[in-house]
Amino acid sequence: MYQLPALLLAFAIGVLGCQSPEPSQPIDLTELTISDIHQAYEAGEFDCQQLVEAYLARIEQVDKKINSLTFINPDAVAIAQALDEEYQRTNVLRPLHGIPLIVKDNINTKGMPTTAGALALKDYVPDEDAFIIQKLVDAGAIIIAKSNMAEWAFSPMHSESSTAGTTRNPYNPGYVPAGSSGGTAASIAANLGVIGLGTDTGNSIRGPSSHCALVGFRTTLGLISRSAIVPLYLRNDVVGPMCRTVEDAAKVLEVIAGYDPEDPITQYSEDKIPDSYSQFLVEDGLVGARIGVLRNIRDDDPEPEINELFNKALKDLDSLGAQVTDSVEIPGFDSLKENQWCADFRKDVEAYLAKYVRSDTIRTLEDIIRVGTKSEHAAGRLATLAENSGRWENLEIECLDAYSDVRRIAFREAIEGIMDSLQLDAIVYPSWHNKPARIDFFREEYKGDNSQIISPHTGQPAFTVPMGFGSNNLPAGLQFLGRMYSEGTLIKLTYAYEQGTQHRRPPTINQ
């Protein structure tokens, strides 16, 4: 973690004379939701400043065990004070009024480092917020910290950066939280903030969310702006919520969805966003739903304990009212899923550097390589990407967005065609076929990553929710894949499953 000077940290938690009176009862931060907090504000149980101070104290106590955060916002208490004054004056709470937010370290935040975990950006401090950050701030969210990540978002396996080191899984610190949004996942799971943001090129919201018993939304490509976010492959990149509950994730989505002229792909979302995503939070939302089971998503045999949890999830879906169709077959699936990736890192990251960083010394991929890295994994990826561009195979096929690329469209049409023929509302599969890897053996034990295979290429939304726990207290996730712009349906299904099973539990690091 970036180490704040002791005096600055003291200021941040309010011991230099700006501290709120203690709340009537100590604030129990365990599993607090947006609704819980707003009810407490309205009842006068505590205020924004008291809540922020409690989270800052908890971060100081807990994060040394998991190393999930990279920067603590020194203005968080002052922002909370201003929101308290606003509420006293107006008696109106904004949608995310006073809600502590943790932001992945590749999303531009005004006045705070945005490093993507890389030495080349270690001194970069944006002078403007990303489009979605501005929307969250306008809604009343308080950025309390930035979170660690896999350097340049290169690794789905683990979250190691040159700027902050390695993040550990709060459920068992000997294991990975996956990558690349592992810092957001670990910190939200450990109750260091209320809501979190991650990015997902192939796995990086859903993989870490699954490994940390969280809800993770990878939404339709085009629903949420990616402007002012350090890219990996922009044609696949999505930003989205990572939260402890479906309700909180839906409330974040309500704020950040929408058109941004700086991200042209968001034009496809116009007229496709409902007035409210919260309207889909229906406890019996699985009653009458039709769910297809995709068994052959990977060649890897699932670990027996994951298979057992998945089969139990299917029984739970049935008992909650869904009609479950097992062993759905996608015509041509094995060939359609191949040759979907394109090596666009050079083009995308150099465009980001030119538009936002504007440095005379960091302009090209070669400049990034020259500055260097502490990560062996990142060094290998940088070298590979310096020598490759475009599609990994069949270079004659142009690499385009999800609405224009012929291979992506064919893959999506095959999946949605089967969904239509079977009248399916969603397809389900385990987010991982294997449990989290041990930190010291992440390369050898990285297996069963199902999130990479469909939605990053087809553009379809895919949400993960907690599915239970396996051995060594390690979480597993159930993934729901939907049609383009079917977020409302997925919220309805995942909320009903979450409420009917209650698999989420805090890690013992909380105690």
Q: Pick from 482, 398, 475: which is nearest to 430 by CA? A: 475
Report the alpha-carbon distance of residue 140 to residue 487 in Å, rounded.
23
Report the alpha-carbon distance of residue 236 to residue 344 in Å, rounded.
10
Q: How far is CA 338 from CA 55, 297, 307, 391, 481, in A?
A: 45, 12, 25, 11, 19
180 is catalytic: yes
DSSP 382: H
Identified catalytic residue from 68, 155, 161, 180: 180
Instruction: Say how many residues make up the chain.
Output: 511
DSSP 180: S
Report the alpha-carbon distance of residue 467 to residue 113 in Å, rounded.
35
Identified catalytic residue from 20, 68, 104, 227: 104
Q: Pick from 425, 428, 477, 431: which is nearest to 293 by CA? A: 428
Identified catalytic residue from 20, 68, 187, 204: 204
List b or e across 333-368, with b for residues whose CB sees 16 or more CB atoms inside 10 angstroms: beebbeebbbbbbbbbbbebbeebbeeeebeebeeb
The alpha helices in 149-268, defined as continuous H runs, are 182-189, 206-211, 246-256
Report the alpha-carbon distance of residue 211 to residue 190 in Å, rounded.
13
CB atoms within 10 A of CB 171: 25
Active site residues: 104, 180, 204
